[in-house]
Amino acid sequence: MTTIDRPAATAAIAPARTATDPATAAGAPQPRRGLLFWIVRYLPAEITGTAVMAIAGLLATQWTDAAPVIALAALLGEIAGFYAVLAATIYLELVPVTGTRRKALGKTGVLLIAEFGAAEVLDTLLVRPAALLLGVWLFPDPLWGMLAGKVAADIVFYAVAAGAFTVTARTGLRDGGRNRRTEGAAT
């Protein structure tokens, strides 16, 4: 059981099966993850990302009134805050299942790219800059504009990221199940 499943288990919610569970390996469908799982998984990163976004965007307003510059500062701040928390979260999930800190560190990078790569490319290059720029331009207060743009962009981002998380869990990339099944078949 990964650490991400532990909060759900303590909240009286059945943890999701991993790729190494016999029922999953036999082809039984995995249960859907509930709302509580996604909140526990992403809320700390969202809070940090939002705080750093607001600080960076408001600091930019000290130098300029240009909406594109404010939106860019907010975007970069949110990315830094969000991924700092998620990198730490994923690393802590992986240390117990990878055996070494070095493997956990390498696999953390792989999982960040697998889970967020497609969502982040779409988000960073298109959706979030447009949403932040539109929000800062439409709202008289830049903070409310940044927050409105963030919420709109997050809807698109999480639709893509949640799907990628599910793929990494089902393929065993997240818990190393694919490697253990392969090693077991080879012996």
Q: pLDDT tens digits, residue range 47-95?
A: 999 999 899 999 999 999 888 898 889 889 989 999 999 999 999 988 8
Distance CA 129, CA 75 (A): 7
How crowded is the C-beta side of 39, counted as CA atoms within 13 Å?
A: 6
Find where tokens 């909406």 sit: 67
pLDDT digits 0-9 by tens, 6-38: 444 443 334 444 444 444 444 445 556 678 888
pLDDT score for 177? 55
pLDDT score for 174? 74
pLDDT score for 170? 86
Distance CA 77, CA 54 (A): 8
In terms of phi and psi (left: phi > 0; alpha: psi -120 to 50; beta: otherwise), the region of 141 is beta
pLDDT score for 161? 87
Question: pTM of this prediction?
Answer: 0.66
Report the SS3 class of residue 11.
coil
Q: Please say if the pLDDT value at position 109 is more than 50.
A: yes
pLDDT score for 187? 42
pLDDT score for 73? 92
